[in-house]
Structure 1
Amino acid sequence: MSEIVKFLATVLYYVEKKNFPLAVAFKRAYLYNKPRKIDSNLLYDYSKRLILSYYALPQGKRSFKVRYWLENKENIEIKFPNWMEEKLSTLLDINALKGKLKERCVWARINLLKTDIDKIYRELEGKNIEFESDKDFYYMIKIKKSSVRLSSLSIVKDCKLIIHDKGSSLVVEALKPEIGEKVVDLSSAPGIKASLYMMLTENRAEIFLADVDFKRLLKEYSLLKRCGVDLSKIHIIYQDSTKNSVIRSDKILLDAPCSSSGMINNDPSILLKLWDNEKIERFAKLQKSLLSESLKITANKLVYAVCSLFPEEGEKVIEDYYEIAEKPFSNYQSGYSLFKVGEKSNRTFPHTDSTEGFFISTLNLTKL
């Protein structure tokens, strides 16, 4: 018991004081305080559930909080910050959402620029990894059970299989990728969506990747290279996209910086950064600025997306563009019905789609 307490207290320290994502906090704790003879999958599950219950824990030292959680883990509730509980309760089935957060759902994408579907299926079956192919996208699979860390697999290290949430792939699919077109991505790092776009166009599209962080752009370029993307088709733009330099393109992707509240199923450490709604308001202001600037580009279509559960970052950002907004997918649920533009957008959720929580809407710029 003392080893588990020490381990979980270390995870909590990295999340609480260092602001590390859960995966990074877990990796650090596992490196320095690995308990003996305890399955790593169980440890990760404990770590995730501990962070999900953070706002239900009593005050005190981390070791005290951990002991309290271990003694009451079957009965202790998942809790969001009070303001978040109140807001989400008016928008969705919050109990269903919390129930789903206890589960671990991992999506992965077969990178057809470097391999084929049958090879990946055989590799996973050989490792006794249980998975199922996705009904919507032939290149997506859901990992149901694995006794090994996916990141340790050679096919993952070689970018033949890419850990990629299905909700994120929907953002790219909303653009309806076509061979020969030009696309500008105004907040592109880390590059997972760009690599999918190039895969879907068989490396025969041209993409302009902009980001405000130069180091992230360098990492993005490296990732695209490892993914087998034709780098002659890639143009890197180091810019603050609220002061955009791109003049024209066929299509625009604005997957805007956001609260990342839609990612709490995979990274509950985000909850510790959402103690009030001030962060949401700051992001909403930035998103509106980015969208206004992006509409100065001569293009046919713009896809606006955020990985957020909050309407301030979704419906409220595009409500002024209701007349040109279009719902990207007919087979996915609409946005929040409290907002008129909700009918012209899509939302995904952990408890309904087993994905991260995304808001997606298309703006038909030919109607401007």
Structure 2
Amino acid sequence: MSIELGDDFVDFASEVMYIIEDRLVSMDKAFHYARFRHRLRAPLRVYYNAVSDVVRNYAYLSFMARQLLGSTSRKAMVKAWLMLNTNGHYSRRLRRKVRATVEEVEGRLLEIRDKDPLTYLSIRYSFPRFIVEELSKGMNISELEAYLSHLNRRVTWLRVNTLKIDLDRAIKLLEDEGVEFRQNRQHPFMLMVEGYRKPLGYLRLFRQGLVVPQDLASALVVLNLKPEPGDVILDACAAPGMKTSLIMQLTEGRAEVVAVDISEGRLSKMRRLMRLMNVNESRVHIARSDSRLIKLKGGEINKVLIDAPCTSSGAVSKDPGVKLILDRRPGLVNHQSATQYSILSNLVSQFRGVEVVYATCSILPEEGEEVVGRLTEVFGVKLVKPDVGGLSDGYRNYPVSQLVGRVMPHIHGGEGFFVSKLLV
């Protein structure tokens, strides 16, 4: 890194971590709050990328800081990051004070790997120990390591919005702008970005809603619902509207969506997105309500999409702050699981002869296999294996494992998602 980072960065990055843990907010929000309290001497993007890496590797940096500096404070963790990733005057001065060399500390970490591989994986890839233990019940160590490693890697997917632009035209414009990408074979409107000349958000295609960022896993949730013209679909946790807009794209604007969300602020964003994406707003009925409690009238709805609120543990590449929050507040998992079951049970109890897709951006079985497993026992609903996207089976050792699907980052290239399909 050519720009020198020093005490100002240590103070700034440690405050971002504090805000994440104290307010339970995303890294982006914490970064936004902290930036107005500090005079940043380097370009904002430099700070953002560096802070993201600090947060993403918090457990590894805590281990290194303890061994190198004798402290696990937030500031010590940031200093450890500087020693490992920069070579300016500040980091060289820090290295003169360390208790051991980096090579010696890495050797100690490898000793842990041989004695306690789960602790090693928790430290190396910076995931809370309880998550690593839970995942180890359903996969061997080598697969678990690949899974955790790829969860940490940010992969950018784009969706071409064919409501506003022809696919071939969009591809030509992206290529002209210097964007390098690979089309998904099954779903060619989904593009995995491999390189670009300038930030994607600066492109005219983005500003005009011709191309939008949407992860492959998110798109696969909608694709497994198989929306068709004439469908009347309930999107039970709809805002900010990316999945609703994809429903309308796949049906060429000929489906009808009842879009429900509990947050008025998010629904306002959804309305703006619908206009930007050229969605026929007369066919999208937006309502503020709590899907845990909502009572629906009429029998027109034939499909239900529930992309439920969750821990977002499958999206740590996008928001590494999730790791810090779950490490400090593991009880959030059970809280979210209870919310998910409340939404599912309320809606399932009101329908007959309806297809329901339930999904979460979570790598935890408490928010996936366990929720739908309990639902099938209580309500007797039938599970049908999602068959779009070549999804992996659910985690082993659950009765529903072979009837549900998971998007695995190291296999599919998307975020970690749980996907299920129920016939009510």
TM-score by length of 2: 0.79
d(CA) in 2 for partners of 1:228 and 1:116?
13
User: What is the aligned partner in structure 1 of residue 330 from structure 2?
Assistant: 277
Q: State the secondary structure of the residue aligned to 2:321.
A: helix
1:208-357 to 2 correspondences below 5 Å: 208-247=258-297, 248=299, 249-275=301-327, 276-295=329-348, 296-320=350-374, 321=376, 324-329=382-387, 331-357=390-416
The yes-or-no answer on 1:94 pairing with 2:153 is: no
What CA distance in whole angstroms lies between the structure 2 residues aligned with 1:217 and 1:207?
Answer: 14
Shift of the alpha carbon at 1:357? 0.7
Check conservation: 1:5, 1:66, Cα contact below 8 A. no
Counterpart of 1:360?
419
Deviations 1:103-133 (A, max 9, x none): 3310010000111112221222122221111
Structure 1 residue 332, shift from structure 2 partner: 1.8
* 8 Å CA contact retained: 1:167, 1:357: yes
Change (3 A) 1:23 1:116: farther
Write the letter of the residue equivalent to 1:22: M
1:181 partnered with 2:240: no
Tell me which residue corresponds to 1:79: 126
Stretches of structure 2 that go unaligned for 5 or more consecutive residues are 66-70, 86-101, 107-122
Q: Aligned partners of 2:151 and 2:342: how far apart in 1?
A: 32
Q: Offset of 1:39 from its aligned partner? A: 10
Q: Aligned pairs, how many?
A: 363
Q: What is the CA distance between 1:96 and its match in structure 2?
A: 0.9
1:203-261 Cα deviation digits (max 9, x unpaired): 11110011111221121111111111000001112111111222331101111111110
In structure 1, how many angstroms separate the alpha carbons of the residues matched to 2:228 and 2:222? 11
**2:151/2:415 contact within 8 Å kept:** no
- Residues 147-183 of structure 1 show CA distances to partners (whole Å, capped at 9, x for unaligned) of 3221121211211111000000011011101001100
Q: 1:100 to 1:125 in 2, by over 3 A?
A: same
Distance 1:199 1:278, change over 3 A: same
Counterparts of 1:327 and 1:65 in 2: how far apart (Å)?
A: 44
Contact 1:252 1:299 in 2 (8 A): no
Other-structure match for 2:54: 50
Is the 2:407–2:416 Cα contact (8 Å) retained in structure 1? Answer: yes
Would the aligned equivalents of 1:107 and 1:141 in 2 still touch at CA under 8 Å?
yes
> Helix, strand or coil for the counterpart of 1:339?
coil
Evaluate the alpha carbon distance shift between residue 163 and residue 118 of structure 1 in structure 2; reply closer, same or farther with a 3 A threshold: same
Q: Which amino acid in structure 2 is aligned with residue 85 of structure 1?
A: V
Secondary structure of the corresponding residue to residue 305 of structure 2: strand
Partner of 2:16: 14
Q: After superposing the two structures, state which structure 1 stretch, 260-269 or 116-125, moved more.
A: 116-125
Q: Which one-letter code corresponds to 1:6 in the other structure?
A: D
Q: What residue in structure 2 maps to residue 108 of structure 1? A: 158
Alpha-carbon contact 1:111-1:199 (below 8 Å) kept: yes
Deviation at 1:9, TM superposition (A): 4.7
Question: Which consecutive unaligned segments of at least 5 residues does structure 1 have?
Answer: none
Residues 119 and 20 of structure 1: CA distance in aligned 2, closer, same or farther (over 3 Å): farther
Letter of the 2:248 counterpart: M
TM-score with structure 1 setting the length: 0.90
CA RMSD of aligned residues (A): 2.4
Residue in structure 1 matching 2:181, options 112, 120, 131: 131
My pick for the range that moved more, 43-52 or 114-123, is: 43-52
Pick closer, same or farther for the CA change 1:208–1:150 going to 2, 3 Å. same
How many Å separate the matches in 2 of 1:94 and 1:28?
A: 35
Distance in 2 (CA, whole Å) between partners of 1:363 and 1:163 is 28
User: C-alpha separation between the residues in 2 aligned to 1:30 and 1:153?
Assistant: 25
Q: Which moved more, 1:81-90 or 1:42-51?
A: 42-51
Larger mean Cα displacement after TM superposition, 92-101 or 73-82: 73-82
Letter paired with 1:55: A
Distance 1:4 1:128 in 2: 34
Amino acid corresponding to residue 115 of structure 1 in structure 2: I
1:194 to 233, 236, 244: 244
Aligned identity (percent) is 30
Higher Rg of the two aligned structures: 2
SS in 1 for 2:124: coil
Cα distance, 1:25 vs structure 2: 4.8
Q: Distance in 1 between matches of 2:289 and 2:35?
A: 37
8 A Cα contact 2:311 2:336, kept in partner: yes
